[in-house]
A and B are shown apart, each in its own frame.
Chain A
Amino acid sequence: MGIKGLWSLKQADRSPYDKFLVQAFVGETRILSIEDNELAEVRTGFNLFCELIIIIIIIEYDFICYVCDAMH
């Protein structure tokens, strides 16, 4: 896994609580955030793109479906 750095961040200066846990890896940074009673990874724009493709495949498995590019 190789986490190289860990930092906590608050959502506002004067908030008493940390909201985000930032993890630095060798090639990227990931952020965990408290949302709805769980600490989960924050979806960046890139992750959301992949999920759209997967949802289309699941819904349309009865059909011949060509998934080219979720942006079109």
Chain B
Amino acid sequence: MAGFHAEKPTFYCGNVHENGLVQVIDSGVRLIDCETFQLLDEYVAECSVTVATGNSSQVVIALSGGLLVCLDIDAQARTIREKARVLMDQEIACVSIDSVRVATPPTSDAMDIDTMDVDDHNLSNTDATGGASASTETHLMLAVGLWTDHSVRLLASDQNTLQEISQVRLGSDVQARDILIVVLQGTTYLMIGLGDGSIVTYMVAYADGMPTLSNRRKGVLGTTPISFSQFHNSGDVCVFASCDRPTVIYALNHKLLFSVVNLSQKGVTCMSSFHSELFPDCLAIASEETLMLGVIEDIQKIHVQSIPMHESPRRIEHSAP
């Protein structure tokens, strides 16, 4: 476990291509080999990381002072490379990312037939008919909750730039504590969890890679700050909102539905899906004092298969029925 820094708290970690994993700590980002756990590369941030998120090829970190940095994980070279950064005008409370495929228009080709035969270099950029072919690029969309003005900013990153596209006011004097862009049954949603246990949701539509928000809904889940995680239930993506009244959010017939989870302990602080051969389709659920593994049999109820622990868990034994 040499590459993994265990003596510091982790802000985010996840698998990346190819056979790597990233760990974000307060000093920066570590790229680690999945099998040997050796450190492959490290990005040292110029000041402390406050929040972080990522996907299988990118990591986005927010630094104290409001700096937002996008990092690419090069799967072949196995290195971390800074791609873009922007300074927001306030501290960043939370961030979520989505990858959007954007069709790039064919490049205009003003060459006439005569010069094409002479210049071999340009020939490779054109197809048989003499025009360049269209392709798609992947852009990164970021949703950022800011600390002071209770707004959410949407930013887009392509090539080496990161710029703000739009913003929404949360319409509340409570801070956003977590944010999530998620696709449920083919529709993209933006969810914001507030510090008082309320939730704001929007539908997101993309046109030419630019997002527009609609269908704003606000509701109350509980009374403590909400944090989001995702899991699969019967093949569909669902969202787990952790708070003192943990709730599963899912889509059915283009509507968002909310289902309260019945758990013996009060309140959930965070959750991660955990699907292993030994414990398939499980959710690891943490509260102030316990960690448990459980399975949601259907959206309406949760069935506990393991015993909640009352001390820091060191070992969980599985006894076959």
Contact = CB atoms under 8 A, between A and B. Distances in A.
B274 to A, nearest CB: 5
Interface stretch (B106-114, B142-150, B288-296): B288-296
Interface in B159-207: none
A64 B263 CA distance: 52
B277 A34 contact: yes
Contacts of B272: 6-8, 21
Interface residues of B, number: 49
Nearest to A40: B315
B18 A38 contact: no
Contact of B286 (A3, A10, A34): A3
Contacts of A46: 6-7
List of 10 A-B pairs having minimum Cβ-Cβ separation, nearest first? A3-B286, A6-B272, A39-B316, A24-B10, A40-B315, A29-B10, A8-B274, A41-B314, A6-B270, A44-B6
A44 B2 CA distance: 8
Contact of B6 (A3, A13, A29, A40): A29
Interface of A: 1-13, 16-19, 21-32, 34, 37-42, 44-46
A12 B274 contact: no
Nearest to A32: B313
Given A1-B289, A2-B288, A31-B6, A40 B314 contact: yes
Contacts of A10: 15, 34
A42 to B, nearest CB: 6
A22 B10 contact: yes
Given A1-B286, A24-B9, 7 more contacts: A5-B10, A11-B35, A18-B273, A21-B284, A23-B286, A32-B316, A38-B315
Given A12-B34, A30-B312, A3 B275 contact: no
B276 A6 contact: no
Given A5-B12, A13-B18, A29 B276 contact: no
A10 B275 CA distance: 9
A3 B313 CA distance: 11
B9 A39 contact: no
Given A23-B286, A24-B11, A41-B315, A13 B270 contact: no
A24 to B, nearest CB: 4
